[in-house]
């Protein structure tokens, strides 16, 4: 099938596959994804994983840009509180995520599209569960569709 037809199908909602951008910390969640892989756990392949040195490296601009460029959901994975390789990077993430969630809500982006999870290097199973759950929730919400609709005006004439 041609690319254009696939895009058309997806737009119609018939074959919607959520696109998730996942920022995983190098020391915990990325290793959990590795573990899930080597343990042959199955989970939906919808996430594009981006490895960062620390969840604290995830600038809120990255999240907004992901949404602006077509992500249907954004997942941040970091070490459990107290376990950060850099001592407090994940606390900074936690605080930013709280405020970013308020902003995203104000911008009309549904809560389930943005998620922060603590997943240690040993928790391949949690990674599988989180991925599966998030993909299901975003699938239920449908495509984000941020692109602006064309300016269409109703019949704006009046005769007297």
Partner 1 sequence: MAEKPKVAFYWCASCGGCEEAVVDLAENVLDVVAAVDIVFWPVALDFKRKDVEAMADGSILATFLNGAIRNSEQEEMAHLLRRKSQLMIAFGACSHLGGIPGLANLFDREGVLHAVYQESPSTVNPEGTRPKAAYRSNGHTLGLPHFFHTVRALDQVVEVDYYLPGCPPTPKLLLGAVQALLSGQAPPKGTVLAPDQALCEQCPRKDSKPEKLEITAFKRPHEIVAEDDKCLLAQGLLCMGPATRGGCEAVCISGNMPCTGCFGPTSRVKDQGAKILSALASQVEGNEPEEIERILAGIPDPVGTFYRYSLPASLLHRKKQSAA
Binding site for partner 1 (CB under 8 A): 56, 59-61, 63-65, 67-68, 81, 91-92, 94-96, 98-100, 102-103, 106-109, 144-146, 148-149, 151, 153, 156-160
Min dist CB 81 to partner 1, Å, is: 7
Min dist CB 103 to partner 1, Å, is: 5
**Do 32 and 77 meet the contact criterion of CB atoms below 8 Å apart?**
yes
Min dist CB 2 to partner 1, Å, is: 26
CB closer to partner 1, 38 vs 61:
61
CB closer to partner 1, 39 vs 87:
87
Min dist CB 40 to partner 1, Å, is: 35
CB closer to partner 1, 3 vs 156:
156
CB closer to partner 1, 31 vs 104:
104
Distance CA 53, CA 4 (A): 37
Kindly report each contact of residues 60-69 with a partner whose C-beta sits within 8 Å and lies 24 or more positions away, as own/partner.
60/96, 60/100, 60/103, 62/23, 63/100, 63/114, 66/21, 67/104, 67/109, 67/113, 67/144, 67/146, 68/146
59: closest CA among 32, 103, 92, 21? 92
């Amino acid at each position: 099938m041609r690319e254009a037809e696939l895009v058309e199908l997806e737009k119609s909602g018939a074959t919607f596959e959520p696109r998730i951008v996942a920022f995983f910390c190098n020391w915990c969640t990325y290793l959990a994804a590795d573990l899930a892989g080597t343990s042959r756990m199955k989970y939906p392949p919808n996430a594009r994983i981006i490895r960062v040195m620390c969840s604290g490296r995830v600038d809120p601009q990255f999240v907004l840009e992901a949404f602006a460029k077509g992500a249907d959901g954004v997942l941040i994975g970091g070490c459990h509180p107290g376990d950060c390789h850099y001592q407090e990077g994940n606390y900074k993430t936690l605080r930013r995520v709280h405020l970013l969630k308020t902003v995203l809500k104000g911008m009309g982006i549904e809560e389930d599209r943005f998620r922060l999870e603590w997943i240690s290097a040993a928790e391949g199973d949690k990674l599988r569960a989180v991925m599966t759950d998030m993909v299901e929730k975003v699938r239920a919400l449908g495509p984000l569709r941020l692109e602006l609709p064309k300016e269409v005006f109703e019949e704006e004439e009046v005769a007297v």
